Amino acid sequence: VHKVIFDTDPGVDDAMALYFALAHSEIDVVGITCTFGNVTVAQATANALYLTRLAGREIPVAEGGALPLMKAAGKPPGFIHGDDGLGNLTSRLQHSAKAESVSAAEFIVNMARQYPGEITLVAVGPLVNLALALKLEPQLPSLIKQVVLMAGTVIEPGNVSPVAEANVWNDPHAADLVFTAGWKLAMVGLDVTHRVVMSASYFAGLAQHHQQHIAMTTLSHAVNFYSDFYQQARPDLGHACFCHDILAFVYLVAPELFETMDGRVRVQLDGMGNGQTMMDRHGGGLVYAQSGWGSEQPEARVCLKVNAPACLQLIE
Ligand code: BDR
Ligand code: CA
């Protein structure tokens, strides 16, 4: 069983990912750390508390970074996830749960020290919390079992610019720290998340099957809002959406559904290429060493292809 801290900015696909994780017998979510991104960090924290309590789960939630490490803050994309991150819900279950008294970065460090070598970080938002945790505890990479990111893209075009994926673009400095920290790291980016299309009819079938679950009304509402956005942005998909963040968990439990390549990943920190994840697919060596891509930098395992039907089946 994977002991997971879920770092997230819920977010519709984040909510889907959370419920996938809570439902999966091989995943034990021991904490949720929240970041700005799809919504403000305060809203992300409120959403994580709401979604867990709605599902009847008392999982600790810690609030994290409100701003990128160095970049100026942007405006949350209300047109994609709704102003509340969950498709503008009209009502919410009332509960009295509160966030932890420690920050997200402190929570990560405390858990890593308490369970050395056991914790997996699944991070599906901008990476400020992981970056702050690394600053707080430089030994963190040796205390953490592995890191799985929904972040970046290598060959597939970006979703905020021609070369950048949103989570990396939102905090490129944090992402670069995370990619170079030296821990066991897998990147699940747009190269694979753009291959797994969740049609509205697929989701309706899933919702029908689980209609007795109290969280389904919230999730269906959110997914509908999100799919309406995609119908405008990507008419070629029909009424459907990408379910990016779930795939980080799918990779965790079923890595055999992905084709991967190992290589160094660095992040472009400014200019028009801001937030681009640059991967060395050549393997360094003499030629690249002269440009600073020496082979001593840590490698990431990058997902490049995916068995989409098998993913959808697993999610169902
Ligand atoms: C990522 O950006 C967010 O909008 C999604 O939740 C996902 O984590 C996709 O680029
Ligand atoms: Ca996300």
Query: Vertex 145, ends 139 and 151: CA angle to 5°?
Result: 95
What Å distances lie between residue 186 and 79, 196, 226, 246, 264, CA to CA? 29, 18, 26, 14, 11
What pLDDT is stored for residue 248 in this prediction?
Answer: 98
Cα–Cα distance, 187 to 165 (Å, whole number): 12
DSSP for 188-254, please give it.
Answer: E-HHHHTT-EEEHHHHHHHHHHTTTSTHHHHHHHHHHHHHHHHHHH-GGG-SEEE-TTHHHHHHHH-
pLDDT at 70: 94
Cα-Cα end-to-end distance for the chain = 20
How many Cα atoms occupy the beta-carbon half-sphere of 302 within 13 Å? 25
pLDDT of residue 95: 94
For residue 147, is pLDDT > 80? yes
How high is the pLDDT of residue 26?
98
ipTM above 0.95, yes or no: yes
pLDDT computed for residue 94 by the predictor:
93
Q: Is 150 in the pocket of ligand 1 (CB under 6 A)?
A: yes
Is the pLDDT at 286 greater than 80? The verdict is no
Is 244 catalytic? The answer is: yes
pLDDT at position 285: 73
Residues within 5 Å of ion ligand 2 by Cβ? 9, 11, 14, 124-125, 245
Distance in angstroms (rounded) separating the CA atoms of residues 25 and 227: 28
The CA distance from 136 to 5, in Å, is: 17
Q: Does the Cβ of 299 fall within 6 Å of ligand 1?
A: no
16 in contact with ligand 1, CB cutoff 6 A? no
Q: What percent of the chain has pLDDT over 70?
A: 100
Which pLDDT score, from 0 to 100, does residue 190 have?
98
Give the range among 133-137, 217-221, 244-248 with minimum mean pLDDT.
217-221
The pLDDT of 194-221, averaged and rounded, is: 91
Predicted pLDDT at 67: 96
* Closest ligand to the CA of 164: 1
What confidence score (pLDDT) does residue 177 get?
98
The percent of residues above 90 in pLDDT, for the chain, comes to 89
Neighbours of 226 (CB within 10 A): 26
Q: Is the pLDDT confidence value at 288 over 90? A: no
Average pLDDT over residues 18-41: 97
* Ligand 1 pocket check for 268: Cβ under 6 Å: no
Q: Model pTM?
A: 0.97
Decide whether any atom of ligand 1 lies within 6 Å of the 35 Cβ. no
Task: Give the mutation target among 38, 192, 223 for probing the ligand 1 site: most ligand atoms within 8 A of CB.
Answer: 38
Query: Which ligand 1 atom is nearest residue 245's CA?
Result: 8
Query: Residue 287 has what pLDDT?
Result: 81
Reported as a pLDDT band with limits 50, 70 and 90, residue 209 is confident
Q: 231, 160, 241, 140: which is closest to 198 by C-alpha?
A: 241
User: Is residue 63 very low, low, confident or very high in pLDDT (cuts 50, 70, 90)?
Assistant: very high
Residues 6 or more apart in contact with residue 33 via CB below 8 angstroms: 5, 6, 7, 8, 61, 62, 64, 104, 105, 107, 108, 129
pLDDT, tens digit (0-9, with 9 covering 90-100), for 258-278: 999 999 999 999 999 999 999
Q: What is the mean pLDDT of the chain?
A: 95
What is the reported pLDDT for 308? 98
pLDDT attached to residue 314: 97
Is the pLDDT at 297 greater than 80? The verdict is no
SS3 278: strand
State how far the alpha carbon of 153 is from the alpha carbons of 58, 138, 261, 266, 298, in Å.
34, 27, 13, 11, 18
- Residue 29 β-bridge partners: 4
- Among the options 24, 194, 244, 282, which is catalytic? 244
- 171 close to ligand 1 (CB < 6 Angstrom): no
Mutate to test the pocket of ligand 1, among 196, 245, 250, 303 (most ligand atoms within 8 A of CB): 245
Number of H helices, E strands in the chain: 14, 12
Query: Of the candidates 223, 166, 260, 186, which has an alpha carbon nearest to the alpha carbon of residue 17?
Result: 223
